Amino acid sequence: MSEVTVRRNVLLNPGPATTTDTVKMAQVVPDICPREEEFGTIMRELSTDLLRTVHAPADTYEAVLFCGSGTLAMDVCVNSLLPAGKKLLVLNNGAYSSRAADIARAYGLELIDCQQPVDRPFDVAAAQAALDADADIAVVYTTHQETGTGVLNPIRELAEVVHAHEAIFIVDTTSTLAMRPIDVVRDGIDFCMASSQKGIQGMTGLAFIIGRRDIIEASREYPVRSYYCNLYQQYAYFRENGQMHFTPPVQVIYAARQALREYFAEGEAVKWQRHTETMTAIHEGLAALGFREVIPRAYQAGLVAAVAYPDDPHWSFERVHDACYAQGFTIYPGKMQGQGTFRLCALGAITAADIAAFFRVLREVLTELGVAIPVHYEK
């Protein structure tokens, strides 16, 4: 197996992330039925390790695993934790919180979609006002880093306001968990979630929710709104049988176990430092070419740069993308309505040296296309 070599691509998109060879190879295992005790042991180890990524105490928090991408974990949290007759408040300043609101609409839930500008952190006073306006709000949902813009939301401050109203607080941490340090107790997070292809640097296909066990237990009484995506049922089945209710993503779980071993070997602080250095190299490389970022640095979570398209007739995101892709670097379109942006992200097993290599390629590509350097903006 050691003779197998896989080409290394540098993914600058917001997930799936670049993985190590050892994580890729961890998927190549003897066929196994996931109902075997051996596999149950792996899933228990995985659940325990996932709790540790956010410093969740094992006596009060639980990690619940599902087969799916990150949106599945959002779906589970939105549909499973709302008592009958109560309302869900979404603190919405970006594409991912909008997605959570869409999920709530799809289930026909009582929703308050509290929208704020996408180019800055969510205003705590606006959250306070929304909570004050409605006594029936039982669940509040927001996104830690809005991945479309890279904006960081003030989770700890929001949690105080939410808990003062005795609501539960769900935070989508899909694009921060195992990158930007999170401590669920310190940060006031009742439920958070992510998927294996992002911060932990695994493969796509495993979604997980980390949340308070007492609330999961209480949710047993809530309406079952989905057969496959119900949090309590998955939790209860795993407790009883040590297995996921339905077929787990077997090979993805082996890769996730390896990825978590590598995560703890690297260490939370060292890994965050690496991402920070990668992001610094991105900022510097962009500035050297004259590119403008659309979100002020103070508002950024430190993992995503959203960059304005230059005003140059030779600029074409598609052509730049294709030329970079051919050389092993993947850049990604933006997610800001009415504004041409692209994104460069610091997720995955990449370093500042990869970013330096990327900017050498980007400079050549821009030159070949006839885009003026430094790039030009009309205003």
Residues at the contact surface with ligand PLP, assessed by CB under 6 A: 14-15, 69-71, 74, 96, 143, 147, 172, 174-175, 195
Question: Closer CB to ligand PLP, residue 205 or residue 285?
Answer: 205
Residue 266 makes CB contacts below 8 A (sequence gap 6+) with 274
Contact 282, 346 (CB under 8 A): yes
Amino acid at 113: D
Cα 179 to Cα 246, 270, 303, distances in angstroms: 29, 10, 8
186 Ramachandran zone, left/alpha/beta (phi>0; psi -120 to 50): alpha
CB atoms within 10 A of CB 164: 10
Provide, rounded to whole angstroms, the least separation between the CB of residue 175 and ligand PLP: 3
**Pairwise CA distance, residues 259 & 68, whole Å:** 17
Provide, rounded to whole angstroms, the least separation between the CB of residue 190 and ligand PLP: 17
Question: Closer CB to ligand PLP, residue 188 or residue 202?
Answer: 202
Question: Closer CB to ligand PLP, residue 17 or residue 42?
Answer: 17
341's enclosing H/E stretch is strand 341-345
**Pairwise CA distance, residues 41 & 263, whole Å:** 19
List the one residue out of 322, 323, 315 whose CA is nearest residue 340: 315
Question: Closer CB to ligand PLP, residue 14 or residue 285?
Answer: 14
**Residue 213 tokens, joined:** 């066990």
Contact 247, 34 (CB under 8 A): yes
Q: Quick check: helix, strand or coil at residue 5?
A: coil
Name beta bridge partners: 175: none
Sign, CA dihedral 269-274-280-283, equals negative
Which residue's CB atom is positioned nearest to ligand PLP? Answer: 70
Question: Closer CB to ligand PLP, residue 13 or residue 310?
Answer: 13
Question: Closer CB to ligand PLP, residue 184 or residue 365?
Answer: 184
For the chain, report the end-to-end CA distance as a whole number of angstroms: 55
Provide, rounded to whole angstroms, the least separation between the CB of residue 192 and ligand PLP: 11
**Residue 111 tokens, joined:** 């929703």
CB atoms within 10 A of CB 178: 26
Q: Quick check: helix, strand or coil at residue 173?
A: coil
Provide, rounded to whole angstroms, the least separation between the CB of residue 362 and ligand PLP: 24
**320: exposed, middle or buried (Cβ count in 10 Å: 0-12, 13-18, 19+):** buried
Question: Closer CB to ligand PLP, residue 12 or residue 366?
Answer: 12
Question: Closer CB to ligand PLP, residue 15 or residue 121?
Answer: 15
